[in-house]
Amino acid sequence: MNHIFRQGSDPNKPTLVLFHGTGGDEHDLLPLAEMLSPGSSLLGIRGNVLENGMPRFFRRLSEGVFDEADLIARTHEVKAFLDEAAAEYGFDPARLVAVGYSNGANIAGSLLLHYGNVFSSAALLHPMVPLRGLTPPSLKGVSVFIGAGVNDPLISKAETEELEELLSGAGADVTVKWSNQGHRLSAAEAEAAKDWLDRQSF
């Protein structure tokens, strides 16, 4: 997968894995990641699917309707890439933090629902429920931050609450930060995510 890896200056910090939103690329979330965890190694990944020329991590049938077969296949594809990247770059696969926005948050959420503790922590910014009818593995010990908009035109409050319940029910420690910036990532949301990450132990 197209990606960028930046070696961090602090070996005690986790590696952040960055998943962009629709139309983004592997560079999009680097400034956010540098703010969230100064000194961390950063792995930015570009989705392998194109929708009208815009990179995504999996196909969708229409707005808010996912191609579930493709989502599952791409989830396994990303997991295999993470394993390869850990071997290539020498980072600890047990100390990964996912940072995903929108479509990227959805693939990160799908990785959690398929693989459990593939991430020790995950910041999901404006995510949806990636898959329904799936019994997730144990997420005990996994901490999840959800950034959501009370007026997000793409994601209802009920959808966010359903995802929170799904992750919590599997044992994850979930923190939800509500903002009123629609589907946009707000500065307050980013600050809240940083405060949450600062409280995690690695």
Tell me the one-letter amino acid at 189: E
Catalytic residue among 41, 102, 120, 143: 102
CA angle 158–99–20, rounded 5-degree value: 90
Answer yes or no: 183 catalytic.
Answer: yes
Cα dist from 74 to 7, 48, 130, whole Å: 26, 8, 12
Catalytic residue among 28, 37, 152, 179: 152
Answer yes or no: 102 catalytic.
Answer: yes
Answer yes or no: 152 catalytic.
Answer: yes
Catalytic residue among 3, 67, 173, 183: 183
The arrangement of strands across the sheet holding 3-6 comes to 3-6, 42-45, 15-19, 96-101, 121-125, 143-149, 173-179
Pairing status of strand 173-179 against strand 121-125 = unpaired
Name the residues annotated as catalytic: 102, 152, 183
